[in-house]
Structure 1
Amino acid sequence: MIFDLDGTLVDSWEVHRYALRHAAAEAGISEPSSARLAAAQRPTDLATVRALVGDAYLATAWTAYRREFLARLGVDPPKATAHAAETLRRLRASGLSIGVCTGRSRREAQALLNACGLEVPLVIAREEAVEPKPAPAGLLAAVHALGLATSEALYVGDTATDLRQGRSAGVRTLVLGAREARPRGQSPPSHLPELSELLAHTGRAERKSE
């Protein structure tokens, strides 16, 4: 079982937005609106900062982003998404291997998991992925790191980009809180209403504690 991080296990938008605005200020850019921040979103944190400030100010802005992101976690830590902690516990109890594959940098990703108290291995971060999502490289690396075949893995994300990444990797993918329109008789639905329903998709029952 492989999870995307932001929006899937962790509700990180507010701390991300806070850090992006500080990054823009360090780059001498007027405070971006919420719409501009949303438009700048890319599959990795570094690419998002680049889209916001441009290459000329990237080094300065990236340093500011990382500093403010980590500082904000200590002041106002984000929450795990609904049912995330309980779902991870149940998946471990069922005997499944679990891990996180993210386009966020390893340092910030691990800090997010720690801040939310989520005990799940960070398998692949931006630094280990040859290409960003929706390219399959990062997800395939996570599958192999967990000792799985693609047919044995299930990937859970929260965006259409996650869905494209999973499909390009040949890994069954569920999208949290989304409904994919599809003609009748085609591929199975990818919609996962909430994380608490995830165990039903694994074909396993939770083991009884002794």
Structure 2
Amino acid sequence: MYKCCIFDLDGTVLDTIASLSHSVSLAMAHFGYGPVDEEHTKKFVGDGYKKLVERALIYSGDEALVHYEEALSVYEKIFEENCLYEIKPYDGIPELLRFLKEKEIKLGILTNKNRVRAVECVETCFEPGYFDLIVGDGDGISLKPDPAGALFMAESFHVKPSECLYFGDTNTDMKTGIHAGIDTVGVTWGFRDQKELETFHPSFIIDHPEKIKHIFA
């Protein structure tokens, strides 16, 4: 019986691609580069903002990463001002979360996003305290795909990994959940396609949040 659900944030709970693409494009413009479209941004995110900036610079032509250190600072400032840009929950997510809360399932967010920005995004789209725990970059825990964050959350909820479900939309998420010994749910409405998720053979692959409710019946 599952007692806890841990969710990735970007691409799983919240559609944040517009804010990420907008922010990284503004950061690249600072160095005279063109915008990074949403499709490329989807491929660049998932491993923290430093990897996003690195990949965006290489895509823009700075293969030697000459501007890398400065670009990190530029992006952080820009993202602080734009992290709420056009963000919204994915269809069916609010209903799934309400359903889980009615079942008294603990709810957590595990993200590679800066924790302050993550909380800001979550509390803009949901009421403060809606999730029982939010863990992100800056909490002193290794970033995904290291399973440390998922295991920390299970321990915090006083449940075994086998009593958790982990939801995510990228290869990073699949590695995180599976390496933590947690049944993992690949979601296809996010930033990556089903083919990428299938490579890792997660316990479930779903194309809408309602498709997982049956296991809690």
TM-score, normalised by the number of residues in structure 2:
0.78
Aligned to 2:137: 126
Moved more, 38-47 or 101-110: 38-47
Aligned to 2:33: 30
Superposition pairs for residues 136-155 of structure 1, below 5 Å?
Answer: 136-155=147-166
What code does the residue aligned with 1:108 have? Answer: R
What code does the residue aligned with 1:145 have? Answer: S
User: Equivalent residue of 1:125, what SS?
Assistant: strand
Task: Name structure 1 gaps, 5 residues minimum.
Answer: 206-210
1:46 to 44, 50, 55: 50
Q: Once the 2 structures are TM-superposed, how far is the Cα of residue 7 of structure 1 from its aligned partner?
A: 0.6
Q: Once the 2 structures are TM-superposed, how far is the Cα of residue 90 of structure 1 from its aligned partner?
A: 1.1
Aligned to 1:208: none
Tell me if structure 1 keeps the 8 A contact 2:11–2:169: yes
Whose relative contact order is higher, 1 or 2, with alpha carbons under 8 Å and at least 6 apart? 2
User: Equivalent residue of 1:148, what SS?
Assistant: coil
Tell me if structure 1 keeps the 8 A contact 2:24–2:36: no
Identity of aligned residues (%): 24
Aligned to 2:99: 90
Aligned to 2:78: 68
Task: Name structure 2 gaps, 5 residues minimum.
Answer: 58-63, 189-193
Aligned to 1:173: 184
2:119 to 92, 110, 119: 110
Q: Once the 2 structures are TM-superposed, how far is the Cα of residue 44 of structure 1 from its aligned partner?
A: 1.0
Q: Would the alpha carbon gap of residues 50 and 196 (structure 1) be closer, same or farther in structure 2, given more than 3 Å must change?
A: same
User: Equivalent residue of 2:185, what SS?
Assistant: strand
Q: Distance in 2 between matches of 1:106 and 1:188?
A: 26
What code does the residue aligned with 2:50 have? Answer: L
Tell me if structure 2 keeps the 8 A contact 1:19–1:69: yes
Tell me if structure 1 keeps the 8 A contact 2:185–2:202: no
Q: RMSD of aligned C-alpha atoms? A: 2.6
Q: Which has the higher strand share?
A: 2
TM-score, normalised by the number of residues in structure 1:
0.80
Tell me if structure 2 keeps the 8 A contact 1:88–1:120: no
